[in-house]
Structure 1
Amino acid sequence: MIAEAGHYALVLALGLALIQATVPVLGARLRDPALMNVARSAALAQLLFVGLSFTALVFLHVTSDFSVANVFENSHSMKPLLYKITGVWGNHEGSMLLWVSILALFGGLVAAFGNNLPLSLRAHVLAVQAWVATAFYLFILITSNPFLRLDDPPIEGRDLNPVLQDIGLAVHPPMLYLGYVGFSISFSFAIAALIEGRVDAAWARWVRPWTLVAWIFLTLGIAMGSYWAYYELGWGGWWFWDPVENASLMPWLAGTALLHSAVVMEKRNALKVWTILLSILTFSLSLLGTFLVRSGVLTSVHAFATDPTRGVFILLILCIFIGGSLSLYASRASSLKQGGLFAPISREGALVLNNLFLTTACATVFIGTLYPLALEVLTGDKISVGAPFFNLTFGPLFVPLLLAVPFGPLLAWKRGDLAGAAQRLIAAGVAALIAMALLWSFVHGGSTLAPLAIGLAVFVIAGAGVDLVERIGLFRNPLGIVWRRARGLPRSTWGTAFAHAGVGVALIGIVCETTWNSEYIGTMSAGQSAKLAGYELKLDGLQSRQGPNFRELLAQFTVTEAGRPIGVMNPSKRSFAARGSSTSEAALLTRGVSQLYVSLGEPAADGGIAVRIYHKPMVLLIWFGPLLMAFGGLLSLSDRRLRVGAPKPARQARGLQAAE
């Protein structure tokens, strides 16, 4: 009964989405406030019913109702409760239901908190959201129904893919989807603006918080996915340039460009056409990522679907929304009035340069990801585009971008002083030179470019500090005045500094891990030791034990440094009988921001076992950087200007808008 109720709720959500997609548009055409207000009620009701549908699927998984095909294929009665819940989105059907639930959530949030929006704009925004929702409701109901019953219910389920039975899965997909789907609001605002033919600074003020929310969640989702792959897959890497990893990186790059472009539009009423285009492209890249994961064109640990019917359906959705939105953009963009002018050397100019490098980097990832797929479709030839291509194209684009990052906040709007900004950044440059000199003097081995890259990272971090120092007058004013100025600074200023510093922190982690990473790979038996990077790891022994739904071979390593014990590490191999597969559970020992990493391979005939041991210097900075970026985004989001949004129109003005 629960499955039928969940299915029925999903059908009702589709009906409400159809109402939300049509009635408000008709109301805007007829200038009828009552019809336009239908969008708000329909969006909230749609959120309620899709929420009920998602809750029903969670209940079916928790209670192990194996009469439902989705539960049978992806659950097991002995699976821990946490993984029963997270297993809901560890498969194609459940993850798509999560996708539309988040889409409805964002639409409901606009409906609930968008009272200061002009009535017609809110109606069009919610209508566009409903168009997207309608397409995906149809996709789920026609090709991916999560509530299908089995005629002959089995006693036990097939269990979830073992590599997905991890706490990281509880965080990574929802975070990623909140980012992916969150950009739908920016898309809806852009399409609504094109329909109405009215784009101004107030529009940028309205769209910026939603874009920032999506960007924060996508940043956290990518970071969590990277860390999950690092410790769960047992290979010791944190980024593989997997096409599905790239599918999340592309909307992040475009979304970062969109955030900076929206700032220019809000402050100077400029870059209107470009900002609208970025809003469309960012969500289009999110849809593309959905297609890559769900279509079956890729084989990846992230990919779910292999049914070509689903791929064709999603491809049709892509063509309709991406093609339709770009066609509307091409027909309406020329009618949008251009905003204020600015000199090339200005804060606007710096943000334009930022956009240029970010979108070019996004284009290189796009080409490297899709070119092999296109070539295979056209010629049947299979080629692989891997890390060497992306490192040679993506990396060099970020060098000039990072050099320019500290200059942007120090330049004035409209016309800036480049020499003055450079003079204020002398201290940051000196800090970078000192860091490079120390590395060249005391660190040996690795690429000669590594100290330069770390010097660049230090320049970015110190440059973010220089901006704050300049604004609060540190070293020039008494501490009381400095404190008052620091408290009076807009939170968005603090947020910008933290986000920029986060980029530098992540770069230090990336360079250190890839340059000075050391490894030991071999077969070890009980009592044997391995030495690595000043540490000695002794294999004390192996033991077998039974887990909830797996059997585990557990190893114990005693770790010493200069003869002093510092910890015990317990990597394991898990065998899942229901799935007939096994996983390697890596053991991590954290020392500051560096880590020792041990994973097990296959047992040897003589009683030993294959072992991979890595020392990864400064590796945790790779993920501390995105956390710092997300924290900066949260600070900016808490800024009063973004919390308040655009001013609420006066009653008389609202009456005139409704009568227009």
Structure 2
Amino acid sequence: MLIEMIPELGHFALVLALLMAVVQAIVPLAGSATRRPLWMAFAQPMAAGQLLFLLVAYVCLTASYLLDDFSVANVANNSNSMLPWYYKASAVWGNHEGSVLLWSLLLGAWGFAVSLFSRDLPRDMLARVLGVMGLVSAGFLTFVLMTSNPFTRVLPVPPQDGADLNPLLQDVGLIIHPPMLYMGYVGFSVVFAFAIAALLGGRLDAAWTRWARPWTNIAWAFLTVGIALGSWWAYYELGWGGWWFWDPVENASLLPWLAGTALIHSLAVTEKRGSFKSWTVLLAITTFSLSLLGTFLVRSGVLTSVHAFANDPSRGMFILALLGITVGVSLAVFALRAPRVSHAVRFSWLSRDALLLINNILLVIMTVTVLLGTLYPLVLDALNLGKISVGPPYFNTLFVPLTVILCVFMGLGPLSRWKAMPGRELARRLAVSGLGALAIGIVAPLIYGGEWNLWVSLGLVSALWVVLPLVRDLIDRMRRQGAPLAALKRLSPAYWGMVLGHLGLAVTIIGVTVVSNYNVERNVRLDVGESVSVAGYDFTMTELGQQRGPNYLADTATIAVSRGGESHLFTMHPEKRVYIARGMPMTQVALRPGLLRDLYVAMGEELDDGSWALRIQFKPFVRWLWLGALLMAAGGLVAVIDRRYRRRVKARSARSGREGTAPDGASRAGAEEARA
């Protein structure tokens, strides 16, 4: 009897979570406005209670999947009795209703984490932060219960079996990719809440940025990993061998990443120098708004994509209304409060402040470029002005030059100083790095490809221009200390996080440059005993067979690979599967990965003579794309462990509360960091 009531228990838990979110939103905010400590104290227990009931609801939905309860419409539409248990567990978020529930659960988890790890914040500030997060959570839970209830029953006659999970999603990538991506999306709600709370409290000092920076870094790191995993999944699962298609849904995740990257750097300047205060708040609002926009694009039905979940316009209108309210109200608060609590801080245009400002502007331009290319076709279609397609030519033509310019200013940053720096000194410190980047960038294509390639040289010079100044900066720091190891130990985790982040971008640029220019692809037909040569490797089909999986039938091929007349090196086993429940064919790619190259074999269709069409690719340095992303994410996480985010927060915030905005204190903090 209890098992049969699991969906109703989950539905009831969702209702209770919504009620707690409403209390979390209203009572603490009212308490902070009227200075009532008891009301403000409601924030933390409500955040904990909301997470508890969201977790109960999520466990109930997962149990319905694992128990094959096909009387639940969500389970009947997205699972099957033959589906392996681990895909049943991940199928919970492989659909619209379940993914929004996961979104809400992670939002509750972020709110609880803030309540747990921010106890040193002033009581009114914490109440406002959790109150704003409660408002966002209440909006999404209302959306779930009104339009996307995952516990809706199929009654009175439920189906005997389910329709099965989309075969594209029956992959380990689905188990990891969406939670990572949502952690990034939802995580930006924390810095959004801190920004709105700071505006409401009338205190845009360095203290709020110090509180917000760790949460921003963590959210950005999760989003970076999520995007990389999505790229990796598309690479090996779709059978095309591409790693980025400028798909609108891919762009939906790139937009908050670009804005979040600008936000991380702007927060650093606001904390250290007390400048860019209004700009930082605006970036916080923009980044979270773009996360909501991505949610709208994926779940509104305006896009047709393998990544998109919903096609119900009523759901899209609800999310669009939620997006409009969030953006409108937050911008109204910004317009009313920011001019009163911000002020200008002077700096030279030849300084780290100016370089970070230019980088911020470039990142915003890149964000707008992607946003226009993504939304413009949708707007035209919505207004019945025709259908157009905006694809890679547009994005590559605009995005690549902006990335090169961004790298130029990134290379200048590590060797510059805050506030002001003589031009001759900066030029002297950059001379060796610049010459080294040019020399290696020009010579490397001649050695690797046998001829000079302008685009490869440009990519390598850009990447090396980012890395070599970092090396020079480390050498200078060790020379000043006299003891190299001691100097390295004194460097803060925030500094090492910056190094890893910039190094990761350079590694990704190298991977993009090399694989885009030296990729080799051949579409061939092979029968048993036949061979083909691709990029110096010989591929011989030695066997064709069939096998049965837990919920699919597969044609399989065995490909023996050798090189340069050598004997057999290894075998590869591509498959062509047909999933039984849906009758949907799928390509299972065979990969031979390596640090310097991937070999990629995908089966196409069986031909009339019994042979098979195959796509064989040689992809040099493609792994560097995802290695660079992991380095960037590691940099964001390493920066979080910096001691200054865990000490003297209470004293500093109390002093900031007495003094209002404190640019001089922020400058002193910046000087201390520069000396470190």
TM over 0.5: yes
2:13 to 1, 6, 9: 9
Residue 397 in structure 1 maps to residue 399 in structure 2: no
Residue 541 in structure 1 maps to residue 549 in structure 2: no
Whole-angstrom CA distance in 1 between matches of 2:649 and 2:413: 25
8 Å CA contact retained: 2:77, 2:162: yes
Structure 1's consecutive aligned runs of 4 or more residues displaced over 6 angstroms after TM superposition are 649-657
2:509 to 502, 507, 523: 507
Whole-angstrom CA distance in 1 between matches of 2:539 and 2:422: 56
Partner of 1:352: 357
Counterparts of 1:364-513 in structure 2, within 5 Å, are 364-442=369-447, 443-444=449-450, 447-473=453-479, 481-513=483-515
8 Å CA contact retained: 1:407, 1:422: no
Residue 201 in structure 1 maps to residue 206 in structure 2: yes
Residue 39 in structure 1 maps to residue 19 in structure 2: no
SS in 2 for 1:583: strand
1:277 to 252, 263, 282: 282
Q: Which moves more between the two structures, 296-305 or 522-531?
A: 522-531
Counterparts of 1:218-367 in structure 2, within 5 Å, are 218-367=223-372
Whole-angstrom CA distance in 2 between matches of 1:111 and 1:655: 24
Per-residue deviation, 1:305: 0.3
Per-residue deviation, 1:428: 2.2
Q: State percent identity of aligned pairs.
A: 48
Per-residue deviation, 1:340: 2.6
SS in 2 for 1:105: helix
SS in 2 for 1:449: helix
8 Å CA contact retained: 2:446, 2:452: no
Partner of 1:139: 143
Residue 54 in structure 1 maps to residue 72 in structure 2: no
8 Å CA contact retained: 1:241, 1:390: yes
Whole-angstrom CA distance in 2 between matches of 1:264 and 1:516: 40
8 Å CA contact retained: 2:203, 2:657: no
Q: Which moves more between the two structures, 56-65 or 160-169?
A: 56-65
Whole-angstrom CA distance in 1 between matches of 2:110 and 2:529: 57
2:531 to 529, 532, 540: 529
Per-residue deviation, 1:653: 10
Amino acid across the alignment from 2:133: Q
RMSD: 1.8
Partner of 2:518: 516
Partner of 1:567: 570
Per-residue deviation, 1:241: 0.3
Q: Deviations over 1:435-486 (max 9, x none)?
A: 223234332468522212112212212222222222222xx776xx111111
Q: Deviations over 1:276-333 (max 9, x none)?
A: 0000000000000000000000000110100111111111111111111112212222
Whole-angstrom CA distance in 2 between matches of 1:400 and 1:654: 40
Any unmatched runs of 5+ in structure 1? none
SS in 2 for 1:405: helix
Counterparts of 1:11-90 in structure 2, within 5 Å, are 11-90=15-94
Per-residue deviation, 1:634: 1.6
Per-residue deviation, 1:650: 9.1
Partner of 1:104: 108
Whole-angstrom CA distance in 1 between matches of 2:499 and 2:151: 47
Change (3 A) 1:652 1:610: closer
Amino acid across the alignment from 1:64: D
Partner of 1:552: 554
8 Å CA contact retained: 1:468, 1:494: no
Amino acid across the alignment from 1:628: L
SS in 1 for 2:555: strand
Whole-angstrom CA distance in 2 between matches of 1:531 and 1:383: 40
Q: Deviations over 1:97-122 (max 9, x none)?
A: 00000101111011111111111111
Partner of 2:616: 613
Amino acid across the alignment from 2:486: R
Amino acid across the alignment from 1:617: P
Partner of 2:177: 172
Per-residue deviation, 1:654: 9.6
Per-residue deviation, 1:154: 1.9
SS in 2 for 1:538: strand
8 Å CA contact retained: 1:268, 1:339: no
Q: Deviations over 1:73-100 (max 9, x none)?
A: 1111121121111111000000000000
8 Å CA contact retained: 1:116, 1:648: no
Change (3 A) 1:651 1:500: closer
Change (3 A) 1:11 1:445: farther
Per-residue deviation, 1:425: 2.7
Whole-angstrom CA distance in 2 between matches of 1:418 and 1:579: 66
Counterparts of 1:149-168 in structure 2, within 5 Å, are 149-151=153-155, 152-168=157-173
Amino acid across the alignment from 1:288: L
SS in 2 for 1:199: coil
Q: Deviations over 1:223-251 (max 9, x none)?
A: 01000100000000000000000000010
Whole-angstrom CA distance in 2 between matches of 1:283 and 1:653: 26
SS in 1 for 2:183: helix
Per-residue deviation, 1:645: 7.1
Per-residue deviation, 1:398: 1.2
Whole-angstrom CA distance in 1 between matches of 2:647 and 2:78: 44
Per-residue deviation, 1:155: 2.0
Any unmatched runs of 5+ in structure 2? 661-676
8 Å CA contact retained: 2:207, 2:656: no
Counterparts of 1:124-135 in structure 2, within 5 Å, are 124-135=128-139
Whole-angstrom CA distance in 2 between matches of 1:203 and 1:167: 39
SS in 1 for 2:558: strand
Partner of 1:94: 98
Whole-angstrom CA distance in 2 between matches of 1:75 and 1:520: 37
Whole-angstrom CA distance in 1 between matches of 2:266 and 2:642: 18
Change (3 A) 1:33 1:649: farther
Partner of 2:593: 590
Change (3 A) 1:42 1:503: same
Q: Which moves more between the two structures, 261-270 or 631-640?
A: 631-640
Counterparts of 1:113-132 in structure 2, within 5 Å, are 113-132=117-136
8 Å CA contact retained: 2:606, 2:612: yes
SS in 2 for 1:614: strand
Residue 625 in structure 1 maps to residue 628 in structure 2: yes
Amino acid across the alignment from 2:393: P
8 Å CA contact retained: 1:464, 1:498: no
Per-residue deviation, 1:379: 2.8
8 Å CA contact retained: 1:293, 1:304: yes
Per-residue deviation, 1:166: 0.5
Amino acid across the alignment from 1:108: F
Change (3 A) 1:56 1:227: same
